[in-house]
Chains A and B, each alone.
Chain A
């Protein structure tokens, strides 16, 4: 037992606080917008130049001039503002965005994040991820705990080229929730049907003992 993609997204949505400006990455983080808790009003930033991102358009109402950072057609809201890319990253770099929820290939116990490149295999570029992790107030990563081969992706040290060093605050995986704290990781919560022992067994990184 563990969380599926939607359950991970729903758990990540609990990180949102009323009034926050938030940037959601591609993949599972995008699903977080489906689970924003009632009474919590957040403004979604899309780094291609938009605050106040709305849902996908109805069929036939797509607008080529209105896309998100994943290049998907989207819609605007009454509170939407558009701006250029330098302004967009000024608000990111300037610490105005409260939180980014991003995917990860690997994360380390010191909060290093790797999510942009596999040497010799996947070379697409970092997009806005390096700017986001360096600039936003809080970085939450949502990822599978292990690879397809069962190897831990929550590591003592990342093996892939980094997106940022000591930038991750909280890790949400299919097995649970971990915080990056001095000395290693601390278990915040285990996924449904997952024990603390399961979580420790699946993790290469140092998990601090005992305390919760």
Chain B
């Protein structure tokens, strides 16, 4: 069992095909698998459906795949930061399935946990629930949402060990753990691969069973909204 690959190119070998569904971790530009996204751009894989909370920004993250016209459909909760996205969407060149953020996260979690569907109150009485099965439990109405299983999950973690155990850092965890579980294959990129035994087994966020391939690399980690306060003089 060898999970460590030298490059993003080698780690994605044999996993990409036109028309596939990819689940990606990240929230905004925080914790996105930027190296794997760059490699998917280089490969030019087409007609992708991508389940990701956001769609990157112009020129970075998933925004690059949009610019390269590789994306057929996005499954996202919020896409406000991307002019090219908006242009393609309004020109009907890009399909978008809006999912409430928690519903998207739970769809990934459920898909990874072998749960084909779940009932939620989220979205009842809105356009999101139209055409979906409704059911009452204890006097309240819920809507059926489907678990999501992706052909490939791409995630970004802080540290990994050679067995694929992952540790995330601060809010860069976000969608990465549920995304990792919902892929038929999962490739993780990390800032550092540490030796076996260097991670505390009690502190593992994503157990290695979910992670099939690993790469270590240098991340730009771009900040979307730099907000600060001044130190009192």
> Which residues in A have some Cβ–Cβ distance to B below 8 Å?
46-50, 55-74, 76, 82-86, 88-90, 92-93, 112, 123-131, 134-135, 161-166
Contact = CB atoms under 8 A, between A and B. Distances in A.
A61 B228 CA distance: 8
B124 A85 contact: no
Given A48-B27, A64-B30, A164-B126, A70 B225 contact: yes
B218 interface: no
Contacts of B86: 123
A135 B121 contact: yes
B28 A67 contact: yes
B204 interface: no
A93 B174 CA distance: 16
A126 B105 contact: no
A73 B223 CA distance: 8
A64 B178 contact: no
B124 A71 contact: no
Interface in B78-122: 78-81, 86, 89-90, 98, 100-106, 108-109, 120-122
B101 A64 contact: no
Given A63-B170, A89-B101, A89-B102, A56 B78 contact: no
Most interface-central of A90, A130, A131 (chain B CB within 10 A):
A130
Interface in B213-233: 221-231
Contacts of B168: 82, 84
B190 interface: no
A83 B173 contact: yes
Given A50-B170, A128-B77, 10 more contacts: A50-B171, A56-B228, A56-B229, A64-B29, A67-B171, A84-B168, A84-B175, A84-B178, A85-B104, A131-B103
Interface residues of B, number: 58
B106 A46 contact: no
15 contacts: A47-B102, A49-B173, A64-B223, A65-B171, A67-B28, A69-B27, A71-B30, A84-B173, A92-B102, A123-B90, A128-B77, A128-B102, A130-B102, A131-B100, A164-B126
B171 A66 contact: yes
B98 A88 contact: no
Given A67-B30, A85-B27, A161-B126, A126 B89 contact: no
A49 B123 contact: no
Given A66-B170, A93-B121, A164-B125, A125 B225 contact: no
What 4 A-B pairs have minimum CB-CB distances, sorted nearest first?
A89-B102, A165-B125, A124-B80, A131-B102
A61 B213 CA distance: 33
Contacts of A88: 102, 105
B126 A165 contact: yes
A10 B158 CA distance: 39
A77 to B, nearest CB: 12
A133 B76 CA distance: 19
B205 interface: yes
B194 interface: no
